[in-house]
Structure 1
Amino acid sequence: MRTVRILEEASQEAIEAAAWYEHEQPGLGAEFFAAIDAAIDVIEENFIPLPPLPEKAGDTGAKRLILERFPYDLVLIELPAETVVIAIAHHSRKPGYWLERAKP
């Protein structure tokens, strides 16, 4: 089982998105968090190999896991001792806005 660590910036992105969803429809924020939890379980269990991100982001070794039901990706970097979630990125955000976070 892999250790998964979530950067503070990524955690803040999740909190803000969940608050927005909760405002739009009560209960939807909790469903968003549940989708993130399920994605983290997949990463921890290493169920599926995740492909590297295309283009410039691929230079960082960053990978992504697309959330089910929500237009978000978990952007992560696999290190020898742990997997680090560096962004919880909405599909409409500028690609690679999180690149600075990918540096060790």
Structure 2
Amino acid sequence: MTLAQREHPEARAELRVGANWYEDPATGQELLDATLQARRSIDEMPGAWPPIRGWDREPVVRRKGVIGFPYGVIYYVTVSEIVIVAYAHEKRRPGYWKHRIEA
């Protein structure tokens, strides 16, 4: 059974900002496409990626890398859905998304 996906509103906004950062609109679109592919992979195997190092409480938060870009999809899984918490750049503001986790 495929779980529904829900994006945190701030995650959706930061992905758009990330795509717009690239001067070439085609590269921005490639980021969006690669992120969509990462989300599809999460749909297929939500438990396949390791938990975030140092996160020691529920829910278990995971990161799936975005192929070809320095971004990761930060998410957790509940009984009924996959919650996308952030589209986080690997080199910027580690852990800034932690306040978005719903216990």
Shared fold, TM over 0.5: yes
Distance in 2 (CA, whole Å) between partners of 1:74 and 1:58 is 19
TM-score w.r.t. structure 1 length? 0.88
Structure 1, unmatched stretches of 5+, are none
Q: Answer yes or no: is 1:59 the counterpart of 2:60.
A: no
Distance in 1 (CA, whole Å) between partners of 2:34 and 2:56 is 25
Which residue number in structure 1 is paired with residue 21 of structure 2? 20
Structure showing the higher helix proportion among its residues: 1
Which residue number in structure 2 is paired with residue 79 of structure 1? 78
Paired residue secondary structure (1:59): coil
Counting matched residue pairs gives 101
Does the CA contact (< 8 Å) of 2:46 and 2:77 recur in 1? no
CA RMSD of superposed structures (Å): 1.5
Amino acid at match of 2:97: W
Distance in 1 (CA, whole Å) between partners of 2:85 and 2:69 is 18
- Please report how far the alpha carbon of residue 103 of structure 1 lies from its aligned counterpart in structure 2 after TM superposition: 2.4
Amino acid at match of 1:75: I
Which residue number in structure 1 is paired with residue 94 of structure 2? 95
- Please report how far the alpha carbon of residue 47 of structure 1 lies from its aligned counterpart in structure 2 after TM superposition: 7.0
Does the CA contact (< 8 Å) of 2:62 and 2:75 recur in 1? yes
Which residue number in structure 1 is paired with residue 10 of structure 2? 9
Which segment is superposed worse, 38-47 or 6-15? 38-47
Distance in 1 (CA, whole Å) between partners of 2:46 and 2:8 is 22
Q: Which runs of 4+ in 1 moved over 6 A?
A: none
TM-score w.r.t. structure 2 length? 0.89
Paired residue secondary structure (1:27): helix
